[in-house]
């Protein structure tokens, strides 16, 4: 449980699919992507005891599970006009006290909520010396009485200023697009992804645009998560954010060419050649 360099904090997801249940959640994708970049990840999560989806994670990756009554469970229902998302169950909250002591020296920390399960005011306490990547999607949505997921406003200037990288998607801010300017003002580096359209990033408030890497996509599920982890890893390894954005765009695009974990993650050899 020592020697890790990328600490992931967030719930895995049990995604309800036609075939049954599938492993999902930002941290699940992150485990595989980080390993493909040659990093040594560890995962702090919460799930039901003996959750079989956990066995789909690589056996060499240390995982600390906070027991919960249920694993966080999402269901997506598609209509002709839109996707309707439901949050069927939520696992236990995650606190800094849940982090194994040996992991607290990790140089990289990824705060990756999917159901508001992390204390937004204490990000730095999970790994006090780490460079933080924040993917705040789970802070930016709420569960209605019928379990339907809807957007909500989330803005924490201290959390944004404390993160080295903040990465979110166009969908996350669609209900309140003006908040992008507020985020860009506070975050040292903000990235807004927009799928096949590419996206933009703000470095010290200055906007830069990037293009997506053209591929024939089979399944875009998880591409945003793949981008976030690839950007974090590439920035850590190269020290060049412009190059890291390009690497992340390429790896995310490649991930859409195959469906499901771990098949959608490009090989370590392909990523090494890219780097």
User: Who contacts 177 (Cβ-Cβ below 8 Å, separation ≥6)?
Assistant: none
- Report if residue 1 sits inside a domain: no
Please count the structural domains in the chain: 1
pLDDT tens-digit profile of 234-264? 999 999 999 999 999 999 999 998 888 888 8
Q: Is the pLDDT of residue 20 over 80?
A: yes
- Maximum pairwise Cα distance, the chain: 49
Give the pLDDT score at 2: 55
Give the pLDDT score at 146: 96
Q: Is the pLDDT of residue 229 over 80?
A: yes
38 contacts 80 by C-beta, under 8 angstroms? no
Mean pLDDT of 29-35: 97
Mean pLDDT of 210-219: 87
Which structural domain, as residue segments, surrounds residue 21?
A: 6-274
Mean pLDDT of 196-216: 93
Give the pLDDT score at 21: 93
Can you give the three-state secondary structure of the chain, one letter per residue? CCCCCEEEECCCEEEEECCEEEEECHHHHHHHHHHHCCCCEEEEEEECCCCHHHHHCCCCCCEEEEECCCCCEEEEEECCCCEEEEEEECCCCECHHHCCHHHCCCCEEEECCCCCCECHHHHHHCCCCCEEEECHHHHCEEECCCCEEEECCCCCHHHHHHCCEEEEECHHHCCCCCHHHHHHHHCCEEEEECHHHCEEEEECCEEEEECCCCCCCCCCCCHHHHHHHHHHHHHHHHCCHHHHHHHHHHHHHHHCCCCCCCCCCCCHHHHHHHC
Give the pLDDT score at 221: 83
The model's pTM is 0.94
Q: What is the CATH number of the domain that holds 226?
A: 3.40.1190.20
Between 28-32, 186-190, 211-215, the lowest mean confidence (pLDDT) is in 211-215
pLDDT tens-digit profile of 36-75? 999 999 999 999 999 999 999 999 999 999 999 999 999 9
Give the pLDDT score at 204: 85
Say how many CA atoms lie within 13 Å of 23 toward its Cβ.
21
> What are the structure tokens assigned to 161, written together?
């200023």
């Amino acid at each position: 449980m020592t020697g890790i360099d990328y600490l992931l904090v967030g719930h895995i997801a049990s995604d309800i699919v036609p075939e049954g249940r599938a492993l999902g959640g930002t941290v699940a994708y992150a485990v595989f992507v980080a390993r493909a970049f040659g990093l040594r990840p560890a995962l702090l999560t919460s799930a039901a005891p003996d959750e079989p989806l956990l066995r789909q994670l690589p056996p060499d990756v240390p995982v600390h599970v906070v027991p919960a009554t249920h694993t966080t469970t999402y269901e997506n229902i598609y209509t002709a006009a839109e996707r309707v998302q439901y949050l069927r169950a939520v696992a236990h909250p995650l606190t800094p006290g849940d982090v194994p002591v040996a992991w607290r020296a990790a140089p990289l920390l990824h705060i990756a909520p999917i159901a508001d399960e992390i204390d937004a005011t204490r990000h730095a306490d999970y790994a006090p010396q780490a460079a933080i990547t924040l993917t705040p999607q789970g802070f930016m949505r709420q569960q209605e009485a019928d379990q339907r997921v809807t957007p909500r406003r989330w803005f924490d200037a201290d959390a944004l200023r404390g993160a080295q990288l903040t990465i979110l998607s166009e969908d996350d801010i669609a209900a309140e697009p003006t908040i992008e300017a507020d985020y860009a003002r506070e975050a040292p580096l903000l990235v807004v992804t927009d799928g096949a359209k590419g996206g933009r990033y703000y470095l010290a408030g200055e906007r830069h645009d990037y293009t997506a890497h053209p591929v024939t996509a089979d399944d875009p599920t998880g591409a945003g998560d793949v981008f976030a982890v690839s950007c974090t890893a590439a920035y850590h390894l190269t020290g060049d954010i412009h190059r890291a954005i390009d690497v992340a765009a390429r790896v995310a695009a490649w991930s859409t060419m195959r469906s499901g974990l771990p098949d959608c993650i490009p090989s370590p050899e392909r990523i090494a050649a890219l780097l």
